[in-house]
Amino acid sequence: MPYVIAGLVLVGTIALLNLGLLVVILRRWQELEVVRRRDDFVAQGPQPGDRLPEFAATAISGRTVTQDDFRSGGLLLGVFSHDCPSCVDKVPVFAEQAERIRESGGRVMALLMGAEAGESGLTAALIGPADEIVPEPEASPLFKALRVPGYPTILTYQGGVLAATSAVARQPVPAAS
């Protein structure tokens, strides 16, 4: 009888160790999957070397802006959504980058997506940093042409060519097509 009890304790201990190891492996696998998805997510969007697509849109100011307005010099282009918490967090970073672009002679534009984009608090926050704010539905054609995978996205163009994209600090909010 003592051998049976010892055997059951040994089998139970091995089963618990096996279960613990399985949990550790599954958690690590899940972490790696999150990293892979984030890398795939970023790879879907605009890449350095892409040209600024052709567009014409009416900004909140009433001015019609086209790609020709931004072909020379630098352009900082922020893509935000009025219902995205990460977008609100990114406005101060966008404002700092906007000042640097303006100091070098560039311009700043923001696309604001969402049905109530024109009347949102995010619009008010972007009025200072952005030279032009283009709300949806005017922003939709450019948004689709840029292939922006999520909000917020900040793109830096030099001479009409994408030079850099900014990393999103928090988990990006997937963009609706």
Burial tier of 145 (Cβ tally within 10 Å: 0-12, 13-18, 19+): middle
Average pLDDT value for residue range 114-123: 73
Mean pLDDT within 158-172: 72
Average pLDDT, the chain: 84
Domain boundaries, the chain: 1-44, 56-174
Distances (CA, A) of 18 to 9, 31, 171: 14, 20, 33
Which of the listed ranges 34-43, 101-110, 149-158 does the model predict with the highest average pLDDT? 101-110
Look up residue 125 and give its two tokens: 């926050």
16 three-state secondary structure? helix
- CATH number among 3.40.30.10, 3.30.70.260, 3.40.47.10, 3.40.190.10, domain 56-174: 3.40.30.10
The confidence score (pLDDT) of residue 169 equals 43
Pick from 58-62, 143-147, 152-156: least confident: 143-147
pLDDT band at residue 111, thresholds of 50, 70 and 90? very high
